[in-house]
Structure 1
Amino acid sequence: MQAVILAAGEGKRVRPLTWSRPKAMIPVANRPIIEYTIDALIKNGIRDIIVVVGYRREQVTRFLNQLDLPIEVVVQEKQLGTAHALRQAESRITGDFLLLPGDNYIDAQSVAKIKDVKNAVLVKEHPSPSNFGVVTIRDGQVDSIVEKPDHAPSFLVSTGIYSFDKDFFRFIQGNDVTEAVSCVIDAGTGLSAVIADDWQDAIYPWDLLRLNQRLLRHLPAAREGTSSRHATILGPVQLGKGTTIGPNTVISGPVIIGSDCTIGPNCCILPNTSIGSRVTVEPLSLLGNAIVMDDTTISSHSRIVDSVIGERCTLADHTSTGSAKGILEIEGIPTRSEFGAILGDNVTSGSGARFRNCLIGNNVTLEGNRDVISRIIPDSSRVI
């Protein structure tokens, strides 16, 4: 069996994190999201994999070339939709295939449940169904899929993961896979609904925190770095090569820390935290339920919780992030949110800055002890 992974999209609702990377390449638990999809396929013996790339395609291609797998890359020159992306791979498909989004997490057990079912879709209940294609079923067969309805008829949604044969291409008339699937249903061909065991999408950037928690849940302990004999490490913690943990630092897993990081002394790293490579966390700082990407510096006496921090950020001393409820306008739609802060790449904060329920764009400089609450700061802004 073949598999086609769609990794051509930008992920506009996950900005500012997708300014410099496609959504499929956002690191969660220190691995790009697409890698979890590939792992699920490999565990099911599926090695004939085609990946459709587009937005910032060089990043996806570079990553795939590092894998010890014969993955074929196909380019979608213009991002015109999911069905258009699939069309780019049509000439490479020889028979039955799985279609998967590259920016969702799916487990191997769910792939196992659908891979041998002809014409099927993986479905899962979701508390916010209107963000997805909402599915109604009858006697195990899909009755309808309605894309992002204002009033969802059920909590059952499509994961975007399908099992098709090559005959599916004759149903593609526009650029959207869901439209083609509706044509399959209308033609009476039949589409089976298979319940997924474990699946999650990150619709908004703060959803990455929940995905990070899920992926750290079964983290095995591994320590290539070094820690002071006066440091305390509890639970499953991974330390990358070249990383040093200073004295009197306490780390409570699950926590993953990449290579060549400097943590502490006198720091506290709480559960559900992922720290990339070459990150510095200066003394008397606390991190928890957070994603911190590569080459970022968090200065002393800082508190970073419920937040995603992009690459190459420099947060001055006494910087604080903390969860708060608010309403942010995402893609022109007022959206309820609850988190600390989402910082893009190359953000610089002044001493004593405080962030609550805010999106900070890329290349932003915030001077002094600013309070930023329930706001979106555009890219390249300077806040004085």
Structure 2
Amino acid sequence: MSMKAIILAGGHGSRLLPLTENKNKTMVELNERPIIDYIINSIEKSGIKDITIVANRFIEDIQNHVGNKANFVLEETPKGVANAINLARNGNEGCNLLIWFADNLTNIDLNPEVRKFNEGALLLSREVDRPEDFGIAVLKNGVVVDIEEKPTNPPSNFAIGGIYLFDKTFWERFDEVSFEENFSISDVSRQYVKEGLARIISIGDNSWLDCGTPENLKIAEKLVKQGIF
């Protein structure tokens, strides 16, 4: 079954102010190229050609830069993750999905996973220093048995968040939980986990960075110059 990609680039970009005062966060540059270039490059390398970008009022700048490499959906008023995901529903039902939150950069090669993906969910993880800031995997004998969102007492330091592969049942699962207060995509992932349909893979020696803060942007800039991204 074919797979399509959704890039979530909405919201206010408040963590990157003042850089995002007049531009979308994905148009912030790393080594003279906007972040969106690195994301699209990773997705295209995975073999996915059908990409939808959900973005805020600066969407036209992304359109002008990316051109026909993607479809575009305007998030007129940021209303949370559930609304942003739902905006991308049209044209992305009945297929497997890669959902990519645009704060994330990674150099992991997803092509082998995309090619063999059939059902369930694939959750990328990495070890983090502040697990209380992330959705964290609860592991039992190396298998993920639950996900706790920003836990006070983290059960591990394996963060899950930012990049996901879901099968065609994603939308029906999404509809079951998207109305809940403080919805996060972990609420969908958890359904797959509890049915034994989720698999977790670590990025291992690969790099993965949340570039949504000024501090991490500086790190990302160095990694880009080193050719890692």
Shorter-chain TM-score range: 0.7 to 0.9
Determine the structure 2 residue equivalent to 1:183. 191
Determine the structure 1 residue equivalent to 2:79. 80
**TM score, norm. by length of structure 2:** 0.83
The yes-or-no answer on 1:192 pairing with 2:199 is yes
Distance apart, 1:108 and its partner CA? 4.7
**Partners of 2:157 and 2:112 in 1: how far apart?**
21
The yes-or-no answer on 1:206 pairing with 2:215 is yes
**Partners of 1:88 and 1:209 in 2: how far apart?**
32
Q: Which amino acid counterpart does residue 190 of structure 1 have in structure 2?
A: L
List runs of 5+ in structure 2 lacking aligned partners.
none
Distance apart, 1:28 and its partner CA? 1.2
Determine the structure 2 residue equivalent to 1:143. 145
Q: Is the 1:121–1:162 Cα contact (8 Å) retained in structure 2? A: yes
Q: Which amino acid counterpart does residue 206 of structure 1 have in structure 2?
A: E
Higher helix share: 2
**Partners of 1:20 and 1:130 in 2: how far apart?**
31
Determine the structure 2 residue equivalent to 1:100. 100
List runs of 5+ in structure 1 lacking aligned partners.
220-384
**Partners of 1:201 and 1:24 in 2: how far apart?**
12
Distance apart, 1:53 and its partner CA? 1.5
CA shift in 2, pair 1:198/1:95, >3 Å: same
Q: Which amino acid counterpart does residue 136 of structure 1 have in structure 2?
A: V
Q: Is the 1:84–1:176 Cα contact (8 Å) retained in structure 2? A: no
Distance apart, 1:20 and its partner CA? 1.7
Q: Which amino acid counterpart does residue 193 of structure 2 have in structure 1?
A: I
1:14-93 pair list within 5 angstroms: 14-65=16-67, 69-93=68-92
Deviation sequence 1:244-276 (CA, Å, 0-9, x none) = xxxxxxxxxxxxxxxxxxxxxxxxxxxxxxxxx
**Partners of 1:206 and 1:168 in 2: how far apart?**
34
Distance apart, 1:142 and its partner CA? 2.4
1:6-21 pair list within 5 angstroms: 6-21=8-23
Moved more, 47-56 or 32-41: 47-56
Distance apart, 1:113 and its partner CA? 4.9
Distance apart, 1:84 and its partner CA? 2.0
Q: Is the 1:120–1:162 Cα contact (8 Å) retained in structure 2? A: yes
**Partners of 1:89 and 1:140 in 2: how far apart?**
33
**Partners of 2:152 and 2:13 in 1: how far apart?**
21
**TM score, norm. by length of structure 1:** 0.52
**Partners of 1:198 and 1:176 in 2: how far apart?**
24
Q: Which amino acid counterpart does residue 197 of structure 2 have in structure 1?
A: G
Q: Is the 1:122–1:193 Cα contact (8 Å) retained in structure 2? A: yes
Deviation sequence 1:284-312 (CA, Å, 0-9, x none) = xxxxxxxxxxxxxxxxxxxxxxxxxxxxx
Q: Identity over aligned residues, as a percent?
A: 28
SS of residue paired to 2:219: helix
Higher strand share: 1
1:218-257 pair list within 5 angstroms: 218=227
Q: Is the 1:9–1:23 Cα contact (8 Å) retained in structure 2? A: no
2:165 to 134, 157, 163: 163
Deviation sequence 1:184-225 (CA, Å, 0-9, x none) = 334x15211011222111242121111111111128xxxxxx
Deviation sequence 1:353-372 (CA, Å, 0-9, x none) = xxxxxxxxxxxxxxxxxxxx
Distance apart, 1:139 and its partner CA? 4.6
Distance apart, 1:55 and its partner CA? 4.2
SS of residue paired to 1:146: strand
Q: Is the 1:83–1:176 Cα contact (8 Å) retained in structure 2? A: yes
Q: Is the 2:209–2:216 Cα contact (8 Å) retained in structure 1? A: no
Q: Is the 1:140–1:192 Cα contact (8 Å) retained in structure 2? A: no
Runs of 4+ aligned residues of structure 1 deviating over 4 Å after TM superposition are none
Q: Which amino acid counterpart does residue 36 of structure 1 have in structure 2?
A: Y
Number of residue pairs aligned between Structure 1 and Structure 2: 214
Q: Which amino acid counterpart does residue 5 of structure 1 have in structure 2?
A: I
Distance apart, 1:130 and its partner CA? 2.2
Which of these two proteins has the greater Rg computed from alpha carbons? 1
SS of residue paired to 2:90: helix
